[in-house]
Amino acid sequence: MTNYLARYLAGEHVQVTRELSRLAPCSEVLRAEAWGIAEAAMSRVAHNCRLIADRLSRRGYLFSVYCDDEDDGGPQPPITPFDSQNAGMIDRLAARFGPLPITLECFWRTVGDVAFTGKHPDFPGMLDPLVVYPVEALLEEAEYAEREDDGCFHFALSPDDLHKDNVSGGMPYSVALPQGTFDFRLMHEGRDMDFLDYLRDVILVRGGFGGVDIAHPAGVPLAELTMELKPF
């Protein structure tokens, strides 16, 4: 019996999840423990996202499709909870394209989908706010998905930093399927990180905005947004 879950709950968050990420697709025994770790991590991610969304709202931040003062694309909620209809969509996606990374499936089931795009008069542009599309968006892509050179199907999980500001840009941040692993590399995102490490950086360090300069955050109240967030 491994002790991954006990170690994670004792505070070895980064060490344990990185060890699991280096393993091949999880066995059934290990998968149950890995799922417990992902649930523990994503419950903290959900808590942190709700805190950040609430703090931004109280600051007068307006959540919208884009971060564009001239064309914001209309309002949208920062967090949309998961429901039973989404569960069926996950099953359909996995049945067609193979297993999903545990962290991604658990993110959807525990957090839902997230979109911190929006605008505030004191915030600079190009902040690259956190966005994770709902599983429904991937199913829409599935109608025309084709295998790439790596033998996998690539699905967008988020617009790139430019598209979030309503500017024509590059490739969306993406996941390759199938991947029956614990975590996965978030493709086309400049940090070249696994998903959990990406979330740690954007949420815990940058208050939900991947493009904020932590040394000079300009009008972004970075200390307030990151205050007392739960490590994961």
Lowest mean pLDDT among 26-40, 62-76, 84-98, 105-119: 26-40
pLDDT of residue 192: 93
DSSP three-state, residue 51: helix
Helices in 27-129 by DSSP H: which ranges?
Answer: 28-58, 84-97, 102-110
CA pair distance 231, 225, nearest whole angstrom: 14
User: Looking at the predicted structure, is the pLDDT value of residue 1 above 90?
Assistant: no
Rounded (5°) CA angle 220-13-46: 50
Q: 39-74 in b/e burial notation, b at 16+ Cβ within 10 A?
A: ebbbebbbebbebbbebbeeeebebbbbbbeeebee
User: Looking at the predicted structure, is the pLDDT value of residue 140 above 60?
Assistant: yes
> What number of helices (H) and strands (E) belong to the chain?
9, 7
pLDDT of residue 91: 96
Q: Dump pLDDT digits (tens) for 58-104.
A: 999 999 999 999 999 999 999 999 999 999 999 999 999 999 999 99
The mean pLDDT value of the chain amounts to 95
pLDDT of residue 89: 96
Q: Dump pLDDT digits (tens) for 152-173.
A: 999 999 999 999 999 998 999 9
Give the mean model confidence (pLDDT) for residues 25-38: 85
Phi and psi, residue 199, nearest 5°: -60, -40
Burial zone of 79 (CB within 10 Å; 0-12 exposed, 13-18 middle, 19+ buried) = middle
pLDDT of residue 26: 65
